[in-house]
Amino acid sequence: MSSVLTEGAQPALTKLSDEESMFQEAVRDFATSEVAPRVMAMDEKAEMDSDLIPQLFELGLMGIEIPERYGGTGSNFFTSVLVVEELSRVDPSVGVLVDVQNTLVINAILRWGTEEQKEKYFPLLAREVVGAYALSEAGSGSDAFALQCKAEKDGDDWILNGQKLWITNGAEGGLYIVFATVAPEEGYKGITAFLVEKDTPGFSVGKKEDKLGIRASSTTELVLEDCRIPAENVLGEVGKGYKVAIETLNEGRIGIGAQMVGLGQGALDHTKKYVQEREQFGRPIGSFQGVQFQIARMATELEASRLMVYNAARLKDAGEPFLIPAAMAKLQSSEVAQRISSECIDLYGGYGFTKEYPVEKFYRDSKIGTIYEGTTNMQLQTIAKTLLK
């Protein structure tokens, strides 16, 4: 069984700078040599290989936008997108671990953190600490601000009580951005973001979900019981957590778009190789025009999705408005990833339905793309409401 295609991914259709191309190639080589051999075992065990995470830090992939003075790579958001795409081409579980670290946790601290918070946490996040973003609860999914997790003032500290669900990187995390309400009667205006360290008394990681896809990526419950957080660990302003959440998630959606583009590319790469090897009626199935047309259409849809993701990331880096481009990129890429991975299984025939070949895993992994960091319906609503203002 081949767990990864070793040839180059897609033809050079999208123009990158020399520096971006070199970085992309380095990440691709790492994904092929170090991630690929671990993919199937991680999926079966439903856990990340512990030897892999230190390598991600050593390569600088866990602190891409952290300035060099704090020990980070000092690069830009677009570079994060390239990294997530290349890792997801081999394993979307590894892609989303790096994505949450960079596009959510680090981005939030970059924008909203105090200098003291950056000095304390950025060197750790760049070197050894995995971050997690804890917004969702049992009763607050798309209705993101229907939070039950509460924070009460006690002297100079805050006491947090509540539960969080479906938290990516929950098991590996060492630092969590936790959203809680300080004034339930004020609705979203009471939401506040807190930086919570894993060893804080009263904080614990609860149930780990047994998932359909991205199984090596941990998705857990978090439990906070009289968790005392110092005032200096408020991220942003008290009562302004909704701004931290909304604006960070707008950026994070571009990262999920990159994950889905990488996933689609991985499935298509394997399938292109397979249809040139698999023979029926005395010749490779890739020589049949019907199959060729399917490959061509998948490649075209994938490239359109990639360009939308890259455009949104470039706009973000340029300081230009990117709300609609990000929502469109996430919407398009997540739906395309599902279509491509499904069609790739069809081209594999019965083999595609087995775990002997990798396309069934890409198909399972693709489903989450239309759910997390804003469902398909929420993207449609964002696009429509903004356009119709």
The C-alpha torsion from 199 through 204 and 209 to 213, rounded to 10°, is -20
- Rounded Cα distance between 217 and 259, Å, is 13
Q: How many other C-beta atoms can be found within 10 angstroms of the C-beta atom of residue 37?
A: 13
Select from 221, 257, 285 the least CA-distant residue to 368.
Answer: 257
**CATH tag for 18-130 (out of 3.60.150.10, 1.10.540.10, 3.40.190.10, 1.10.10.10):** 1.10.540.10
Domain locations along the chain: 18-130, 132-239, 243-387
The domain made up of 132-239 is a member of CATH 2.40.110.10: yes
Which pair of structure tokens corresponds to residue 67? 């300035």
Rounded (to 5) percent helix, strand, coil in the chain: 55, 15, 25
Per-residue model confidence (pLDDT) at position 142: 85
Do residues 289 and 366 lie in contact, with contact meaning Cβ atoms separated by under 8 Å? no
Per-residue model confidence (pLDDT) at position 318: 97
Q: Establish how many alpha carbons lie within 13 A of residue 169's alpha carbon, considering only the half-sphere containing its beta carbon.
A: 26
Select from 115, 141, 104, 126 the least CA-distant residue to 253.
Answer: 104
Name the residue with tokens 């991975």.
341
- Rounded Cα distance between 167 and 138, Å, is 11
- Rounded Cα distance between 157 and 139, Å, is 27
Q: What residues form DSSP beta bridges with 168?
A: 219
Q: Which of 172, 251, 335, 373 is catalytic?
A: 373
Q: Establish how many alpha carbons lie within 13 A of residue 145's alpha carbon, considering only the half-sphere containing its beta carbon.
A: 20
Domain 243-387: what homologous superfamily? Butyryl-CoA Dehydrogenase, subunit A, domain 3 (1.20.140.10)
- Sequence-ordered list of residues with C-beta below 8 angstroms from that of 71, at least 6 positions apart, any chain: 63, 122, 123, 126, 127
- Report residue 375: phi and psi, to 5°: -65, 170
- Sequence-ordered list of residues with C-beta below 8 angstroms from that of 264, at least 6 positions apart, any chain: 298, 302, 305, 333, 336, 337, 340, 341, 362, 366
- Surface-to-core class of residue 306, CB atoms within 10 Å of its CB (0-12 exposed, 13-18 middle, 19+ buried): buried
Select from 248, 172, 259 the least CA-distant residue to 214.
Answer: 259
pTM reported for the whole predicted model = 0.95
Per-residue model confidence (pLDDT) at position 141: 82
**What would the DSSP string read from start to end of 328-371?**
HHHHHHHHHHHHHHHHHHHHHGGGGGSTTSTHHHHHHHHGGGGT
Per-residue model confidence (pLDDT) at position 6: 37
pLDDT in tens, the chain (389 residues): 333 343 444 455 678 999 999 999 999 999 999 999 999 999 999 999 999 999 999 999 999 999 999 999 999 999 999 999 999 999 999 999 999 999 999 999 999 999 999 999 999 999 999 999 999 999 988 887 889 999 999 999 999 999 999 999 999 999 999 999 999 999 999 999 999 999 999 999 999 999 999 999 999 999 999 999 999 999 999 999 999 999 999 999 999 999 999 999 999 999 999 999 999 999 999 999 999 999 999 999 999 999 999 999 999 999 999 999 999 999 999 999 999 999 999 999 999 999 999 999 999 999 999 999 999 999 999 999 999 98
Whether residue 373 lies in the annotated active site: yes
Per-residue model confidence (pLDDT) at position 12: 54
